[in-house]
Amino acid sequence: METATGLYYVEQHSPSMRFAYRVRRPIFSGKTRFQKVDIVELDVFGKTVFLDEKIQSAAVDEYIYHESLVHPVLVAHPAPRRVFVAGGGEGATLREILRHNTVERAVMVDIDGEFVDLCRVHLPEWHQGAFEDPRVEVIHDDARKYLFDTEEVYDVVISDLTEPLEEGPSQLLFTREFYAGVLDRLSPDGMLVVQSASADPVYADFVASIARTLEELFPVVRVFWAFVFSFQMPWSFVVASRRVDPALLVEKEVEDRLRERGVEGLRYYSPELHPAMFRLPAYLREVLQKGRVLTDQDPYVYPD
């Protein structure tokens, strides 16, 4: 959108809300086989990625999202050696996983190889060379198909996927059937973490349904959150486990594990913050009681 004050990128956040961001410099705009990709430099957020015209990641605070997605679950696991990532195209999720010296293998399966290649070129600040790490294998395939076909067992599975838009590539990766397949691929102490979108007072039905669906399968399910400035709202994550409860991990345990694993350079996640991330406000606890079980026949469709 061109105005008297410059060029703006307009995002339709929901049917009732629209955000406009002033663009300093366009970097890339085009379509892959699976989605529309825009990479722009914004006045406030710096370099920013939009997929299907929805904000995905911004230089100003991508570390908040990626550290929150990765470290609470990896720290809670007693010895994460094999990690699977569904999605994760920017490479920043891999970057955070590889901070843990216990990790011997990280498999990232992202269906959109064209987008991953764009990230390799345009987002070096995000991946910081993680794609070239010898512990990493990057596969361009459907993450559900890959998990269902493989015999490999993982200690941690990380779902770093776009929200399930109608006819989008990730719709059936947020269902009971998919999570049952994940459970089959987890080790005895195995854990799953899902980025589950907004935790605000209005649009929290998605996280509620993710949590409710996972409760059908896993003995331990916990919701945690972080405020992501570029998303302009609190953001939720759901962790599910066979037996480890990350919400019970105390500050000293987190501190010891980060030190033992050589994890350094974190800008958001910390031993002091870990327990607080699992403390939820009353409105969110109330909303979480209203989720529904998502299935292949009745998946969640995010509002355009």
pLDDT tens for 114-149 read 999 999 999 999 999 999 999 999 999 999 999 999
- How many of the other CB atoms lie within 10 Å of CB of 143? 28
Q: Cα(78)–Cα(243) distance, rounded to whole angstroms? A: 11
- One domain for residues 37 and 82: no
pLDDT tens for 44-101 read 999 999 999 999 999 999 999 999 999 999 999 999 999 999 999 999 999 999 999 9
Q: Which residues are catalytic?
A: 160
Instruction: Look at the chain and report how many structural domains it folds into.
Output: 2
227: nearest Cα among 258, 259, 198: 198
In the prediction, which pLDDT does 22 show?
94
Mean pLDDT of the chain: 94
- One domain for residues 105 and 249: yes
Q: Cα(291)–Cα(304) distance, rounded to whole angstroms? A: 20
In the prediction, which pLDDT does 3 show?
47
- One domain for residues 89 and 9: no
Please give the average per-residue pLDDT across 138-163, as a whole number.
96
**86, 94 contact by CB (below 8 A):** no
Tell me, yes or no, whether 298 lies in a domain: no
User: Domain limits at 36?
Assistant: 2-55
Rounded CA Rg of the chain: 18
Tell me, yes or no, whether 210 lies in a domain: yes
